[in-house]
Amino acid sequence: MRRLMVAIGRRATVFRNHVGMIRDERGQVHRFGLCVGSSDLIGWTTRTVTPDMIGQRIAVFTAIEVKTPTGQPTDQQSHFLETVHRAGGIAFIARSEADLARLGNERPQDTR
C-alpha cells in the first residue's frame, strides 16, 4: 500500500481509507471509513479542463482499490469502482506500481 502511494507521486493526491467497525467497551458499534466497499486509496487527480474553460483546473475524484496479484474485489468494491467511473471519476484496481500508469486511461475493467 505504502509503495503504491509513493509511486503515485505527483500524479494524484490520495489518502488511505480504512473501512470497518469496532465495538467499544460498552458494546457500542463505531463505524469508520467512507462506506462499505469504498476503495483503499481515495483522493483526487488534478486535470486541466478543455478549451471551453481554458486554464481552469479541476479535481477529479480518484478511487484505487489495492489488491495482491491474486486478490479479488468484493461485490461491494466492484460496485463502488463502477459507480465512481460512471459519475466521471477515476476508478481502478492496482496490483502493482505498474498499474498506476492507468491514471491516464482509467476504467475499472479488472473488477472480478
Q: pLDDT tens for residues 94-111?
A: 999 888 877 755 544 544
* pTM to 2 decimal places: 0.81
Say what the pLDDT of residue 104 is.
Answer: 57
Q: Which of 11-20, 30-39, 50-59 has the lowest mean pLDDT?
A: 50-59
Torsion of CA 35, 37, 42, 46, to 10 degrees: -110
Please tell me what DSSP assigns to residue 56.
-
Whether the CB-CB separation of 43 and 3 falls below 8 Å is answered with: no
Contact call for residues 11 and 44 (beta carbons, < 8 A): no
